[in-house]
Chain A
Amino acid sequence: MAIKKSFGSRLFNMINTIILAVFSYICLAPVLHVIFASFSDPLKLMRSEGILLKPLGFTLKGYELAFRMPGTLKAYGNTIFYVGVGTLINMVMSIISAYVLTFNEWKYVKFLTVMITFTMFFNGGLIPNYLQIKNLGLLDTRWAIVLPGAMSVWNLIVMKTSFKTLPKSLQESARIDGANEWTILFRIVVPLSKAVLAVMLLFYAVGHWNEWFNAMIYLRDRGKFPLQLILRELLVEESQTATVSQYSKVIKVGDLDMYKPLIRYTTIVIATVPVLCFYPFIQKYFVKGVMVGSIKG
Chain B
Amino acid sequence: MIMIKKKEISPYLHQNNFIKYKDIFIMSIPMVVYFILFHYMPMYGVVISFKDFNPSRGILGSDWAGLKHFEAFFNSHYFGRLIRNTLLLSVYSLLWGFPTPILFALLLNEISNRHYKKAVQSITYMPHFISMVVVCGLIKDFTASEGVINDIIAFFGGARSSLLINKKLFRTIYIASGVWQDLGFNSIIYLAAISGIPQELYEAAIIDGANRWKQTIHVTLPSIAPTIVILFIMQIGGLMNVGFEKVLLLYNNSILQTADVISTFVYRKGLLEFSYSYSAAVGLFNSVINCILLVLANFASRKLTETSLW
Contact = CB atoms under 8 A, between A and B. Distances in A.
A30 interface: yes
B147 to A, nearest CB: 10
Interface string B178-206: 00100111001100110000000000000
A283 interface: yes
A62 B107 CA distance: 41
A97 B129 contact: no
A100 B27 contact: yes
A228 interface: yes
Interface residues of B, number: 93
Given A20-B108, A271-B134, A272-B134, A127 B38 contact: no
Contact of A93 (B12, B31, B132, B193): B31
Task: Give the secondary structure class of B's interface.
Answer: helix
A232 B123 contact: no
Contacts of A49: 151, 154-155
B41 A121 contact: no
Interface string B47-60: 01000000100010
Nearest to A125: B283
Contact of B131 (A210, A238, A264): A210
A112 B148 contact: no
A26 B181 CA distance: 10
Contacts of B111: 16-17, 20
A180 B10 CA distance: 13
A2 interface: no
Contacts of A124: 39, 41-46
A231 B271 contact: no
Contacts of B24: 99-100, 103, 106, 181
B208 to A, nearest CB: 16
Given A131-B45, A232-B133, A27 B127 contact: yes
Interface residues of A, number: 88
B23 A206 contact: no
Contact of A12 (B34, B42, B110, B266): B110
A148 B38 contact: yes
A228 B133 contact: yes
A125 B125 contact: no
Given A106-B21, A128-B46, A294-B227, A287 B133 contact: no
A121 B122 CA distance: 32
A286 B122 CA distance: 11
Interface string A1-33: 000001001001100110111011011101101
Contacts of B183: 23
B83 interface: no
A93 B34 contact: yes
7 contacts: A28-B126, A93-B30, A125-B42, A128-B42, A130-B270, A147-B38, A228-B133
Majority secondary structure, A binding face: helix
A236 B137 contact: yes
B4 interface: no
Contacts of A115: 35, 40
A123 interface: yes
Contact of A125 (B41, B46, B294): B46
Contact of B252 (A24, A238, A271): A238
Contact of B28 (A20, A24, A100): A100
B131 A228 contact: yes
Interface in A140-192: 147-148, 150-151, 175-176, 178, 180-182, 185
A210 B129 CA distance: 8
